[in-house]
Homo-oligomer: A and B are copies of this chain.
Amino acid sequence: MDPTPAPTTALRDSWIANAAAWTTAVRTQAIASRRLATDAAIVEAVLARRPSRALDVGCGEGWFARALSPHGIAVTGVDGSPPLIEAARAAGPGTFEVMTYDELARDGRRAGTGFDVAIANFALLSENDGRLLWSLRAALAPDGALIIQTVHPVSVGGPYREGWRTEDFRGFGDSTQPWAPMPWYFRTVGSWLALLRDAGYALADLSEPVHPETGAPLSLLMIAKLT
């Protein structure tokens, strides 16, 4: 019996198909919300905890490891997309490893243990993220923190209820590169908090970075501790 829903497989595949387009989008700062607010918000949230070791789950092409490394933080980045890990390794400091969320969910220690922070920056996109988060408890130091940043549920349209949606990346500017559609699992604020609780975490802090001009909330930034 395969515990992985079909959209989760398609989700993983999209990050292989879109690896080049994604790497270009991140490295040219093509995503306005990241440039204007959310990149700085997650960096600040992590630095405020003064970690020595960080696990970046769904690290993509590795920008976050490059942002943290100058602060003396040893970053391990894992991602299920081999071409993104290849791009991360080529670009800079950090330890990067190809690892699917299913593999991490089966053994949360697979990428190491004793991390001061585990980070998922716009990287929890599946219905079965709960299994992953539960397993990641084993990767954290006892006083470690899970730091999640995700799209603010009100910043996207559509019905306000949990469920699979499809991202076509049209909002990412006029990239000349084609994008494969990405299935992703929409969660409300309430369902994010329930996800954390059910995976064995207590919410320590929640902030909502806003667009500096419009004032619209862009992301949810949650800091959670082990319970």
* Chain A residues packing against B (C-beta within 8 Å): 154, 158-161, 188-190, 193-194, 202-203, 205-208, 210, 215-217, 220
- CB of B154 within 8 A of CB of A215, answer no
- CB of A161 within 8 A of CB of B206, answer no
CB nearest neighbor in B for A202:
B202
Interchain nearest-CB distance for A59 vs B (Å) = 26
- Cα separation A206 to B208 with both chains bound (whole Å): 16
Interchain nearest-CB distance for A221 vs B (Å) = 8
Determine which of B203, B205, B215, B220 lies in contact with A160 in the assembled complex, contact meaning CB atoms within 8 Å: B215
Determine which of B188, B194, B206 lies in contact with A217 in the assembled complex, contact meaning CB atoms within 8 Å: B188
Determine which of B159, B190, B207 lies in contact with A206 in the assembled complex, contact meaning CB atoms within 8 Å: B190
- CB of A160 within 8 A of CB of B216, answer yes
User: Given contacts A160-B216, A215-B159, A215-B161, is CB(A189)–CB(B203) below 8 Å?
Assistant: no
Q: B residues within 8 A CB of A217?
A: 154, 160, 188
CB nearest neighbor in B for A221:
B190
User: Given contacts A202-B202, A216-B160, A217-B160, is CB(A208)–CB(B193) below 8 Å?
Assistant: no
Q: B residues within 8 A CB of A193?
A: 203, 206
Q: B residues within 8 A CB of A190?
A: 206-208
- CB of B161 within 8 A of CB of A189, answer no
Determine which of B160, B206, B216 lies in contact with A210 in the assembled complex, contact meaning CB atoms within 8 Å: B160
Sort A-B residue pairs by CB-CB distance and give the 9 closest, nearest first.
A159-B215, A154-B154, A160-B217, A190-B206, A190-B208, A190-B207, A193-B206, A160-B210, A160-B215
Q: B residues within 8 A CB of A160?
A: 208, 210, 215-217
Q: B residues within 8 A CB of A161?
A: 210, 215
Q: B residues within 8 A CB of A202?
A: 202
A-B contact sample (11 more), CB < 8 A, given A158-B215, A159-B215: A154-B217, A160-B208, A160-B210, A160-B217, A161-B210, A161-B215, A188-B208, A189-B206, A190-B208, A194-B206, A203-B203
